[in-house]
Each structure stands twice: as C-alpha cells, then as structure tokens.
Amino acid sequence: MSETKTKCVFLDRDGVLNEDCTNYMYDLKDLVIPEGVPEALKTLKDAGFLLVVVTNQAGIAKGLYTADHVYTIHQAMQAASGNALDDLYFSPYHPDNSGVSLSRKPGSLMLEKAIAKYDIDPSQSWMVGDRDRDMEAGKNVGVRTIHIVPENEESFGDYAVVNLLEAAKIILQNQN
C-alpha cells in the first residue's frame, strides 16, 4: 500500500493574493484582496490542496517594516479566506541590504522547506506567482507554474492567466 503524498499550491503573496503596491505592502490599510481570491482559495482547498504562501519580503532587510507586519497581513488574508492558507514562508532578505539568501526567490529554499515539512509531491503541485522569479523557484523544485500577468504580456510559466481564480481553474483541470 503506497502512502499518498500531499499536493500543494505554492502562492506568491503580492500581486497574487493581494494587489501589489509600488512601495511595499505592509500596512493593513493598504491591503486590497482582489475579487475572486477567497473563492479561488476555497476551491483549491476543497479539492484537497495544501495552500502555502512563499513570499519575498525585502522591506524587512531595508528596515521599512518588521516580520510582525507580515504576520498581520497574513492574519487579515486568513480572515478574508476562511483560514484557507496552511502555512506562510517569507524571506526577509535583499542582496543589497543583507546579502544573498537561498530562501529569496528565485532561490527555492522556502519551497524546499515546505516540501520536506508536509511531504509534498512536486509532480502534483503548482507555483502561482506574478514574477519571473516565482516561475524560476517553482521550476527549481519541479512543480508546474502559473504566471499571473496582464493579457498579452510575456510569461515564463507553464501557463499564463490574469488572476488567481483563472489559475485555480487550470489547476483543477490538470490534476494528476
């Protein structure tokens, strides 16, 4: 009898779960969760996916905010999504301020830690992000990638969509 491994959707935060801000998103008053995000998370959760946030938070290294700000935003996202998110990994590093870190995407250490912790099967898992570095981090660990980009913009993901709800549809259609 084979043990069933966990399937997971890794989610970038800014630009995927919330609207991205030009000068870092750390103040709760600036948090805007796009239409369809809670529904997408619930749909993925109901389909049996673990939902893990993996986010670069260079503003910490730059002294703009603290880890507590990241946790406060995460709690608000949990409240908005019915506690659908299973875990949060963030990289507080920036090469110009704190040196290079393998946890900072495109490095894949955050994903690797979650894969080990939750016994995740990369062949059944996905990375959803809005940057090339998200796609690279996902490909580094062997998960399929979905790039959230404006229509007609170049994508480096296995799939390109305009929002998380569209990404969820692709994931559900392509489960193995």
Give the CATH number for residue 77. 3.40.50.1000
Number of domain units in the chain: 1
Q: Is residue 114 part of a domain?
A: yes
b vs e for 54-83, b when ≥16 Cβ sit within 10 Å of the residue's Cβ? Answer: bbbbbbbbeeebeeebbebbbeebeebbee
Provide the pLDDT confidence category of residue 176 given band limits of 50, 70 and 90.
low
Which residues form the domain of 138? 8-173
For the segment 13-56, what is each residue's pLDDT rounded down to a tens digit?
999 999 988 888 899 999 999 999 999 999 999 999 999 999 99
Average pLDDT for 125-141 = 97
Provide the pLDDT confidence category of residue 1 given band limits of 50, 70 and 90.
very low
Q: Is residue 57 part of a domain?
A: yes
Q: Is residue 3 part of a domain?
A: no
Write down the pLDDT at residue 3: 62
Write down the pLDDT at residue 175: 84
* Catalytic residue check, 87: no
Write down the pLDDT at residue 36: 96
Q: Is residue 27 part of a domain?
A: yes
**pLDDT averaged over every residue in the chain:** 94
Q: Is residue 1 part of a domain?
A: no
Q: Is residue 155 part of a domain?
A: yes
Distance CA 77, CA 63 (A): 23
Q: What is the DSSP string of 85-116?
A: --EEEEE---HHHH---TTSTTS-HHHHHHHH
Q: Is the pLDDT of residue 2 over 70?
A: no
Provide the pLDDT confidence category of residue 4 given band limits of 50, 70 and 90.
confident
Q: Is residue 60 part of a domain?
A: yes
127 SS3 class: strand
Q: Is residue 124 part of a domain?
A: yes
* Catalytic residue check, 12: yes
Q: How far apart are the first and last CA of the chain?
A: 19
> Which residues are registered as beta bridge partners of 53?
11, 88
For the segment 46-96, what is each residue's pLDDT rounded down to a tens digit?
999 999 999 999 999 999 999 999 999 999 999 999 999 999 999 999 988
